[in-house]
Structures are given as structure tokens and as C-alpha cells.
Structure 1
Amino acid sequence: MKKKYILWSSLPVFILLSFIFLPLQTFLVIEPRNDGKPAYFSSSSNTTFSIRYTHSIHLSEVEEFYRQTSSNKIQQTKLLYEDTAIGMPSNAEDEEVFERTKDGRYQISNMNRRFTYIDIRIGQVVANHRIVYEDNVYPFKDYFKEGSVVRVQYKKVSLFNQWRGVIVVGKR
């Protein structure tokens, strides 16, 4: 009789702990590769975001556009930039479309490059890396040390890990 009572009385505790520690909700996570707190952006299916930065050689603005795939991978969909100089493409590949926009910038669209994650070294001087999410711009340097490496990926995250990180966009 006592064993049944202990078993049934511990069941709510087990359920509560499972709810806290099991990764259930998907976020776009940006986490430092060494130390520091990750930044969480809430996501729903087909979430989009972009990463903006200033190219370190020709000092012009570059924006890379991404979306979430059904398998929680990252798909690059478009690249927008101002100069085809060193480090930037001067043409498209396969089914991609390379064109000059009305404002004189270059664009590669119809991209289907997929990644499990993207590692980015946050620029210390010029780059000014930013993520554009839901029409808001978030400078990486506000959340991570300049010069550090961060990993951008979609991940299922537990409530416990959400509490340990920084919720940038989403529910607390």
C-alpha cells in the first residue's frame, strides 16, 4: 500500500520535471561557441530571418536571407550585396537567379542552400553583424563579445534552458 502511495504521489513531480527539462519548443538559437548565454528567437514553421553585415574588404553592406525548413534546417534563399569585388559572387549557380536590382545592388535569388547550422565570427571592427527578425534589427554585439564565434541553428529547447538564456523574441 505504501509503495503505491509513493508511486502515485511522485508521478506529478515526474511530470513536472519532464515538462521543465524535456526540449519541446523550437527556437532559432544563437549560441556562443565558448562561453556566454545563448539568444533565443521563437519560431514557427517557415520562419524567416536575415543576417546583415559590412563586408570587411570592400566595406559595403551584405544581407543574407534564410528560412526555416520543415526539418528545422536553415535554407539560404537570397543574397543581396553592393559589390562583386573580392569575396562576393559575380554569378549564380544552378537554378539560382543573378540580377542587378533597381537600386544598383546585386541579388542572387532562388537559392536552395541548406545548413544544419551557421557559424559566424562576430566582427570586432567593421562587420557590425546583425540579425533581422520579424522586421526588427538585433546587433550581435549587444548579446555576444565582439570577435567571438556564434552558432546559428534551429533547436528544440527545454524550459530550463530557456530560463538560462536570453529570450530576444518570444514568450517568457
Structure 2
Amino acid sequence: MRRKKIIPLILLVSFLAVTFYIPWKKAFIFTEQRSENPMRYFVPISKEQTFQIRYVHSIHLTDVIETYEVMEDLQIGLLSMQYEDVAIGLPSYAEEGETLTIENGLYTLTYDENMIDSFVLFIGDIDAELAFRYLGDEIDLKQHLIRGKSYKFHIQRLSFYQMLKGVNLNG
């Protein structure tokens, strides 16, 4: 009789332990670089697959909005970049695989197929805005991440355990 109770208990505990460590939830990940104990910050991904990074250009002091898409294979697709001024770091022409439109003084550079696995984002120690936009919310990255540090940005599936160890930027 006792054996009949122990086997289901062992199976239940094993099932819970395995599901605790299996990566299942897609998330945007910001992993601190050049650190022995890197902090990991994340934003859970729901059904919406597009997101934006908005920053103030350090020379022009105008907004630049980069729009991305989460791909099925967890790659990042660069869709477009919008800005008001050209010159330092902001192109005035389109290269192969790109289209540049200008409407009401706003430049929009769109990309045909520009896929990447990750990119490094530097959080400068200057008072210029840097924000992550998703689901209508804007997260101030300078408020949540450490200024003067670099972060690898990528998309990954996280286990419940990994989510507990990281910092959820959505609260």
C-alpha cells in the first residue's frame, strides 16, 4: 500500500522538477557583458512579435526609432529605422536590400531581409533617452540597466528557474 503512494509522489515531484528547468517562455534578453557574474534582464514575449528601440541621437538630439520583429527561429529581423536628420550615423541613401522614403521630413529606411541573432547595446553614461517599446509600453533602459555597461540583446526561451534568477523589466 505504501508503495502505491510513493510512486505517484515520485512521479509528481520528478514532473515538477523537470518542468521547472525546461525552457518554454520566449523573452527579450539583455545580458550584461564583460562581467564574471552577468546580470540577465528580460521582457516576456506574448503574441505580438514586433518591438522597437527608441533613442535620442547624441549629435542631432532627435529621436531614432528602430523597429524589429521576432522570427520563428528566435532570430531578430530588422524591419525599419526612422529618423529626422541625416549625416553622422544616419544614412541619406538606401543600399542594396533597403528602401529609403522621405515624408514630411521623416526618413524611413526599410530592410528587405536583415536577420541577426543578437546585437550589443551600450548604455551610455549621458542624459540621452534610450527606451525599449513593446505592447504599447516604453521601458526606460537607462533607468533599469547600468550606465556605462554593454548588454547583449537576443531572444531566447527561458525556464521558470531562469526567470526567477533574472530581472523582469516589466515588473
1:145 aligns with 2:143: no
**RMSD after superposition:** 2.4
- Number of aligned residues: 169
Per the normalisation by structure 1, the TM-score is 0.85
What's the CA shift for 1:11?
2.2
What's the CA shift for 1:9?
4.0
What's the CA shift for 1:7?
5.8
Unaligned runs of 5+ in 2: none
Q: Deviations over 1:31-82 (max 9, x none)?
A: 2223564332222456111111122233222111101011111000000012
Mark the CA change 1:150 to 1:78 in structure 2 (over 3 Å): closer, same or farther.
same
Map of 1:67 onto structure 2: 69
Map of 2:25 onto structure 1: 25
Residue 52 of structure 1 contacts residue 130 of structure 1 at CA under 8 Å; is this kept in 2?
Answer: yes
CA distance in 1, matches of 2:135, 2:121: 21
Moved more, 83-92 or 43-52: 43-52
User: Matched residue of 1:112: which SS?
Assistant: coil
Q: How does 1:110-121 map to 2 (within 5 A)?
A: 110-121=111-122
Determine what percentage of the aligned residue pairs are the same residue. 26
Map of 1:96 onto structure 2: 98
User: Matched residue of 1:119: which SS?
Assistant: strand
Mark the CA change 1:14 to 1:43 in structure 2 (over 3 Å): closer, same or farther.
same
Per the normalisation by structure 2, the TM-score is 0.86
Residue 74 of structure 1 contacts residue 154 of structure 1 at CA under 8 Å; is this kept in 2?
Answer: yes
CA distance in 2, matches of 1:116, 1:76: 11
